[in-house]
Structures are given as structure tokens and as C-alpha cells.
Amino acid sequence: VKRRNSTVVILVLTIALACCVVVAVSLGAVAIPFGDVTRMLIARLPGMNLSLGWSDTSTGLSISQAEAIIFQIRLPRVITAAVVGGALAAAGVVFQGLLRNPMADPYIIGTSGGAALGATIALLLPIQVVWLGFTLVPLAAFAGALATVLMVYNIARVGPRTPVTTLLLAGFAFSSMLAAVMSFLMLVSGHTLRRVILWTMGGVTASSWPQLCIVVPLILAGVVAAYALANDLNAFLLGEEQAAYLGVNVERRKLILLMVGSLLTGAAVSVSGLVGFVGLVVPHVARLIFGPDHRLLLPASALMGSLFLVLADLLARLLLAPAEIPVGIITAMIGAPFFICLLRRSKREYVF
């Protein structure tokens, strides 16, 4: 019965996400009727042979303009929001489970500091590099995030073991150091400062299809890998000693989980900058609703993270249209009160 329940949950969340994506794609600065948008989307599905019958004159757009707006601008943006939200929420579950710390988020052991420093350096360098459709900035952010985690992991290692406390402390110390270096670079960056600040605020605006073709598979692979490790995360909930008694190769699994979580975070950060809050709170919300079993918690969190960021980005685009609000403000402004409500209303004590 339990298994069937979780299948239903995942199915419902997936359908909700699909609906949200369609709604998010059909709303924007330029009004395009909902019917036309859905028809255009369906026409692009593989195996569909639908004549569009574009007759809309109310907006004064030609079909090529409408297609450019839908397929080149809105859809990539909505997909970016979905995968970034999913990646951050999944990474949040991984880090919270691994570190057994409710305050853990995907950035906790230095990924954000490393990514931000990498991006800042790339923004300051006067060179233009394009590799696989990526400029230097996302590449440097990704590399910075992973390099930082590797360094923190090595610093935190005590003999054959990597105690969680040392890992957290080393991560914190390392992040502070990187943040200081970044602040200094920002101070001397002159007119690049705006770009650095914009990047650190995060947002899901400027992704192109070639970028998505790399990031989406990477993130999907990361989520699947994290799901495959759900049983290990469940074992970690009992404490490392208990997990070892259950036959889990604790140190090995710890490293793998750390790598999967960091990969997810690095991939998300490379396309969206530092979007906060999703990776911290969505896993808690999912835990309050679905309980602590990672086999359900992980995929449910990922889907809820997608849903949440797609909606937050939609609001960010619409609330002050034609101006936009940085999505990080929306995620915290709507997510935090929602989370507080949920905490107060839940009848049972929070099970971590």
C-alpha cells in the first residue's frame, strides 16, 4: 500500500509540474493567448502533426515572433527554473540527510562561495571563451563549486574518516575566506561590479537551448543518482555507527553523496547564480508532508523544488511587470511564511 501511495504522490506532483510549466510559458510581458501557446507547444511534441492555424491579429505578432518568444525565451527560462529548483531541493535533501543537520542547504560546505568566486574571476577576466555553448562564467562557477568541495573534504579528513562536524566547520571557514576574497575583487572590479552583484543575486533568465542540453541531463542524472542512494541516506539517519552496523560503507558513501550533492548544486548554480532558500526549505516542507523516508522524500522534494521555482519565477516576472523582481526575493518572501504556517499547523513533532 505504501509503495502505491508514493507512486501516486510522484505522479500527482509530476502532473502539477507539467501544468505549471504550461501556465508559466503562456504568461509574460507580451500577451499571447493561452490557446495559441498550448497549440504551439503541442505542435512541437514529437509525433504531432498539427496545423497551427495562426490567425491571431489582436496582439499584432507574426507567427515567427510568437514562436521566438515562446521557444527561445520563455520555455528555456521555465525549464531552467524547473531543473534548478529540482536540483537545489534534491541537493538540500542529500546534504541535510548526510550531515544530519536541519540547517544544511546545498551551499553549506562552500559550493556557493567557490562558485561565486569562480564566476567573479571569470567576469573580471577580459577574455571571451565559449565552450559547448557556455561562456567562461558558468564554467568557472561549476569548477569553483566542485573544487571547493574537494578541498573542504580533504581539509576535513581525519585519518581514514571525515567527521561531519569537521566537514561543517571546514566548510564554514573556507566559505568565509572565499567570500572575503570575492568582496575584495568586487571592490576593485569597477564597472563589472553590477554584473557580479546580479550574478550573486541569482536568477533563471539567460539560458539557451545548447546550455540546457548539457545542464538538464546532468541534473537528471544527479537526481537519479541521489534517488539510488536513498537507502544509504535512510541508514545515515540512524547515525554513522548504526549505518555501519547495517553494512553501509560509511566513508565511501559519504564521499559519493557529497559528490552527487555538489554536482547537483554546481550544475544549478552555473546556470542560475545563487538562488537561495529553495534548497533549505523545500526539503523540510516535503519532510513535513511526506515523512522522513528518503525513497519518497527525495523525488518528492525534487519535484516540489521544480514547482516552487517555476511559480516563484513566474511571480517575479509578473508582479511588477514590465520590471522584474530578483527571484531570490520571491522565494524567501513567499516560501518563508508558507513554511512557518506549515510548522505551526503540523500536529506532530517535526521528525528529522
Partner 1 sequence: MKTYRSLVLWGLLALLIIALAGCAGAKAPEASELAGAAVPESGSVIDDAGRAVEIISNPQRLVSLAPSNTEILFALGLGGKVVGVTDFCDYPEEAQSIEKVGGMEHNLEKIVALDPDLVLAIGGSPAQVEKATEMEKLGLAVLVLQPGGIEGIMANVELVGKATGAEKEANQLAAQMQKRFDVITSRAKGAGSRPSVFFELDATDPSKPYTPGPGSFIDALISLAGGSNIGASAKMQWAQLSTEEIIAQDPKVIVLGDANYGVTVEMVKERPGWSVITAVQNGAIYPIDDILISRPGPRIIDGLEALARIIHPELFE
The residue ranges that bind partner 1 (CB under 8 A) are 28-30, 59-61, 64-65, 67-69, 72-74, 76-77, 191, 194-195, 198, 203, 205-206, 208-209, 317, 322-324
Cα(71)–Cα(19) distance, rounded to whole angstroms? Answer: 17
User: Least distance in Å: CB of 37 to partner 1?
Assistant: 13
Cβ closest to partner 1, residue 6 vs residue 192: 192
Ramachandran sector of residue 160 (left: φ over 0; alpha: ψ -120 to 50; beta: rest): alpha
Q: Note the Cα 313 to chain centre separation in Å.
A: 13
Cβ closest to partner 1, residue 60 vs residue 247: 60
Got the DSSP string for 296-312?
HHHHHHHHHHHHHHHHH
User: Least distance in Å: CB of 123 to partner 1?
Assistant: 10
Instruction: Give the three cell numbers for residue 343.
Output: 510548522
Cβ closest to partner 1, residue 136 vs residue 233: 136
Cβ closest to partner 1, residue 73 vs residue 288: 73
**Where are the strands (E) in the chain, listed by range?**
130-131, 134-135
Instruction: Give the three cell numbers for residue 107.
Output: 551551499
DSSP state at residue 161 = B
Residue 56 burial (CB count, 10 A): 15
User: Least distance in Å: CB of 71 to partner 1?
Assistant: 8
Residue 44: closest CA among 72, 23, 16:
72
45 to 24, 37, 56, 257, 276: CA distances (angstroms): 18, 13, 22, 35, 33
Ramachandran sector of residue 256 (left: φ over 0; alpha: ψ -120 to 50; beta: rest): alpha
Cβ closest to partner 1, residue 228 vs residue 319: 319
Please calculate the CA angle 20-22-23 and round it to the nearest 5 degrees: 65
Question: Beta strand pairing status for 130-131 and 134-135?
Answer: antiparallel
User: Least distance in Å: CB of 221 to partner 1?
Assistant: 24
User: Least distance in Å: CB of 134 to partner 1?
Assistant: 13
User: Least distance in Å: CB of 59 to partner 1?
Assistant: 7
Cβ closest to partner 1, residue 160 vs residue 190: 190
User: Least distance in Å: CB of 30 to partner 1?
Assistant: 4
Cβ closest to partner 1, residue 47 vs residue 60: 60
User: Least distance in Å: CB of 247 to partner 1?
Assistant: 44
Cβ closest to partner 1, residue 166 vs residue 200: 200
> Is residue 211 within 8 Å of residue 133, measured between CB atoms?
yes
